[in-house]
Homo-oligomer: A and B are copies of this chain.
């Protein structure tokens, strides 16, 4: 049975990734050290190098995930800086920026990197939808209360974890990287 640690201090993220790990029989724990992230506009580059650094000091299987909300009408803002924007201007700041803008389209993107003792694999996941007119729901975290995936009327903030994981960028990326690992192992 594979045990990996997720380099994060975000308990919500840990629960989401743990649930996906469970689909593959992989046990996901929290890493015992903080995540080091380089600055980059590419979340793919951030997770790749963050995973290398984490493996350097941890010497054990590690998974790193980074995500962003890309709003079409705002040129992709807040993108890789979603956490910072969430902590500063918050949900209301983003809604204010979209006031009187009819195009509410947006995508959540996730990048993951997994390092074992002999391999480093990456994957991305994406879910597109639109930005709600006001925050709804208290589940999930970050921009979840204002994001409605295509085909739904509820925000991520109104969904249970299992339901969010059916759609979410993060769940898609984690599933993909674990599928890559299995395909390589069977080779």
Contacts and interface: CB of A to CB of B under 8 A. Distances in A.
A48 B122 contact: no
Q: A-side binding surface: helix, strand, loop or mixed?
A: helix
A119 interface: yes
Interface residues of A, number: 18
Interface stretch (A7-15, A49-57, A96-104, A127-135): A49-57
A161 interface: no
A121 B115 CA distance: 10
Interface in A138-187: 180, 183-184, 187
Contact of A122 (B44, B55, B118): B118
Interface in A33-91: 44-45, 48-49, 52, 55-56
